[in-house]
Structure 1
Amino acid sequence: MDPEPTEQDADAQEDVEPVKEKASLDKAEEALDPCLTHSADNTAFDQAFDYLNTKFCQPAIWFDSFFVDDRTQEDARAGTLVRWTNDFSYYFKEGFKYRANLNARFNLPGVNQKLKVIIDSQGEDDPFAFLKGPDDEGERDIGLRYDWYAKDRVSFNIKANFKPKLEARWRYTYPISQGTITRLTQKIYQEKKVTGESTEFDIEHSFDEDFLLRWSVVAQYENRDNGWEFGSSVNLYHYISSKQALNYIASIYGVDTPYHYVENARIAITYRQNFARDWLFFEITPEYNWSKEIDTDRLDQAIITFRLEVMFQNI
């Protein structure tokens, strides 16, 4: 016959329960934290990578999530994104312009979580999308993306749309130090009779939790006699609060066919704020833009854009 539990046994059991609950909560937080990295190997080198990647990821993923930049976000977290933007722009030499765009990324019910439907009316899959101003027309895109592999430093996915276009994207991320990380992205694609490739390199430095500096450079080549395209940008992200942030931008974009020239250059500041509801945002972006088309004179002008955005994530 088992002895009846004493008061000491009961007290000990009460002490154990909070420990178990805390351990369960810690594990749950780890599962939800997209920044935590666990390499397959347990060498000192891999442990160092995990530490640096986790530490650096915190500010980088917040800024990319807040400003909706897929360069970090698409590998760090799966789930649904629905984004409807309305841009009201005043061009000091061309007048008022309005643009509306819808972007979405979601899983199909009952289908492998690695397979996503992509709807893009803004051309954000363009490797030069982050360089362009409010008046640049992007390619409309509806297709499927399969996230084949995403582990440690490496990710790989395949995308197909109805143009038709087939694209493979490989990305490698490497932390240099606790505050500095590099990222190399390579894309190869086939669109009807056009074969192309793009190479993008990013280096990011986190000064602290409030400031993140990112330098990006990208080059693209296609076999349809339009030569090389080149672009580069510098972004300084400034955290103000959990609902407010600033993005200081300087970018340049050029081509080498039919001759070498800079097609677009811009400097801008974007203030972004979440207001009223978790899914409502507005942006104000004053900028100065230098643009040139083939056989036209360069157009220099100031632009101010107000954006109203509805965004749902992970619904």
Structure 2
Amino acid sequence: MKVIAVPLLLLLVLIPFGAKASSGLAEPQIPLPSVSWPQYPTPDNITDIKEIPKEDQPRGWLLRRLDNLSGGIDTFFVDRFFNEDITDEVGGGSQARFSFFTRREFGDPVDYKFGVSLKLELPHTNKRLNLLLKSEDEDVREGDIFESPENVTYSSALRFIIRESDLWSASIDTGVRWGLPPDPFIRAKARRPFYFDHWNFRITQEMNYYTENGYGSITDFRFDRPFTTHRLLRLETRSEYLLNNDYFNLMYGGGIYHEINHLYAYAVLARATGDNQYGATFDEYELGIRLRRRVFSDWMFAEVHPQYIWTRENHWKPTPVLMFRLQAEFGG
């Protein structure tokens, strides 16, 4: 009886399912849960990089965000407030900057210097040609305020922009450094940005030939770490090489830049310079603060720059230095 009962029970269970299938009734539908994808914030809605959730942000979006953030700082903050040489940048339209500053080193008389940096974008050239004018002799200062503009050495050049994009830029400059005798030169420069997590890395390579100094090269590495759109950490290294000298001049520096508001900004800077003529050695260290303020509209700036300098020549004794600068900027 037990053997017969088991098949009967199986038939009783299977017959209802077979009847439903043969009657043409639809099978029960299992509802699927709806999925709501996260909405990522746009760069305009974020002011602090800490607000970006690292675990669910696409890498491409994060890289674009870092580029926009660091680029915004460079254009409107660091370079606008603290860069005196606009001819170093490729593109950006026509710009001009004029500066006059005094420098007082403890125990020495006051020095004066006048500087100019001009970049003129020539019309009808598809933004490919720039006319450059720049004051040279950065380390030469005058003791007479009226002789300073007259004794400045200038250089002029014509720049052909090979390529200018977000990925890389390249240009060639041909010009003359106006001295006695004149010093014709040619230089080729290429620049490429890279991105590593929250760091913005940029490498610049220049190859040049000056009639007076011969062949040379300049290599720059720059690391930017933006914290917000108003605060930036920057680390820099530079090496300059002249074939005739056969050694490198070296510079290592770093700074924290902070834009307090649209009027005030400051930077805490440190730098070490030296060469590898007799092994890698440093001859000078600098530590200072630059405080700048817009004093008229958006084109006139004033700056005070106290710093300490330690040099091998002065047996590493700290020397206080105080500088004042007035700068006018047009275009850009």
> Is 2:251 the partner of 1:237?
no
- Quote the offset at 1:226 in angstroms: 5.2
Counterpart of 1:98 (choices 112, 131, 143) is 112
- Structure 1 counterpart SS, 2:188: strand
Counterpart of 2:234 (choices 194, 198, 214) is 214
Counterpart of 1:52 (choices 66, 69, 72) is 66
| Contact 1:61-1:73 at 8 Å conserved across structures | no
Q: Which amino acid aligns with 1:56?
A: S
Tell me what 1:188 maps to. 207
TM-score (norm 2): 0.70
Tell me what 1:65 maps to. 80
1:126-137 paired onto structure 2 within 5 Å = none
- Structure 1 counterpart SS, 2:71: helix
1:102-181 paired onto structure 2 within 5 Å = 102-122=116-136, 140-162=154-176, 163-177=183-197, 179-181=198-200
| Contact 2:310-2:319 at 8 Å conserved across structures | yes
- Structure 2 counterpart SS, 1:241: coil
For the residues of structure 2 that align with 1:187 and 1:236, how far apart are their CA atoms?
26
The higher radius of gyration belongs to 2
Cα separation, partners in 2 of 1:69 and 1:174, compared to 1, 3 Å: farther
Spell out, residue by residue over 1:253-296, the C-alpha distance to the aligned partner (whole angstroms, 9 max, x if none). Answer: 10233675423221110001111232211000001112356xx8
| Contact 1:146-1:157 at 8 Å conserved across structures | yes
Tell me what 2:327 maps to. 309
Cα separation, partners in 2 of 1:105 and 1:72, compared to 1, 3 Å: closer
- Structure 1 counterpart SS, 2:296: coil
For the residues of structure 2 that align with 1:161 and 1:182, how far apart are their CA atoms?
30
| Contact 2:84-2:117 at 8 Å conserved across structures | no
| Contact 2:111-2:141 at 8 Å conserved across structures | no
Q: Which amino acid aligns with 1:66?
A: F
- Structure 2 counterpart SS, 1:85: strand
- Quote the offset at 1:244 in angstroms: 1.2
Counterpart of 1:248 (choices 243, 265, 268) is 268
**Aligned pair count?**
259
Cα separation, partners in 2 of 1:271 and 1:101, compared to 1, 3 Å: same
Tell me what 1:82 maps to. 96
Tell me what 2:222 maps to. 202
- Quote the offset at 1:220 in angstroms: 1.8
- Quote the offset at 1:72 in angstroms: 11
For the residues of structure 1 that align with 2:238 and 2:152, how far apart are their CA atoms?
17
For the residues of structure 1 that align with 2:97 and 2:84, how far apart are their CA atoms?
12
Q: Which amino acid aligns with 2:206?
A: K
- Quote the offset at 1:53 in angstroms: 1.6
Cα separation, partners in 2 of 1:142 and 1:263, compared to 1, 3 Å: farther
Spell out, residue by residue over 1:99-144, the C-alpha distance to the aligned partner (whole angstroms, 9 max, x if none). Answer: 1111111123444422111111046xxxxx8xx8989x99732111
- Quote the offset at 1:50 in angstroms: 3.4
- Quote the offset at 1:148 in angstroms: 1.1
Q: Root-mean-square deviation (CA), in Å?
A: 3.0
Runs of at least 5 residues in structure 1 that lack an aligned partner in the other structure: 1-43, 124-128
Tell me what 1:267 maps to. 287
- Quote the offset at 1:89 in angstroms: 1.6
